[in-house]
């Protein structure tokens, strides 16, 4: 489908002129990846806080 001039959302293909009823493959693949990144960041935060608390407890 051709891009419409003056349509700011055509770059992302989210406007009504580009919507279809079928979900895009990249959109379906993005959710597990986003969940994995979020889970990894939460795990990293928890491990960092445990390490900080361990170091602070030894200094007291």
How many angstroms separate the CA atoms of 42 and 46, rounded? 6
Domains of the chain: total: 1
Residue 42 belongs to some domain of the structure: yes
pLDDT computed for residue 25 by the predictor: 74
Q: What tokens does 17 get? A: 């002129």
User: pLDDT digit string (tens) for 13-26?
Assistant: 555 555 565 667 77
Query: 0.75 cut: is pTM over it?
Result: no
Residue 37 belongs to some domain of the structure: yes
Q: Judge whether residue 40 has pLDDT over 70.
A: yes
Reported confidence tier of residue 45, pLDDT bands at 50, 70, 90: very high
What lies within 8 Å, CB to CB, of 31 at 6+ separation is none
Residue 49 belongs to some domain of the structure: yes
In the chain, % of residues over pLDDT 70: 58
Residue 38 belongs to some domain of the structure: yes
Q: In b/e form, how buried is each residue of 20-42, taking b as 16+ CB within 10 angstroms?
A: eeeeeeeeeeeeeeeeeeeeeee
Which run of H or of E encompasses 7? Answer: none
């Amino acid at each position: 489908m051709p891009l419409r001039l003056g349509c700011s959302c055509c770059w992302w293909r989210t406007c009504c002129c580009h919507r279809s009823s079928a979900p895009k493959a990249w959109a379906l693949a993005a959710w597990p990846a986003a969940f994995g990144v979020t889970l990894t960041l939460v795990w990293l935060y928890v491990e960092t806080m445990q390490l900080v608390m361990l170091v602070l407890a030894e200094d007291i």
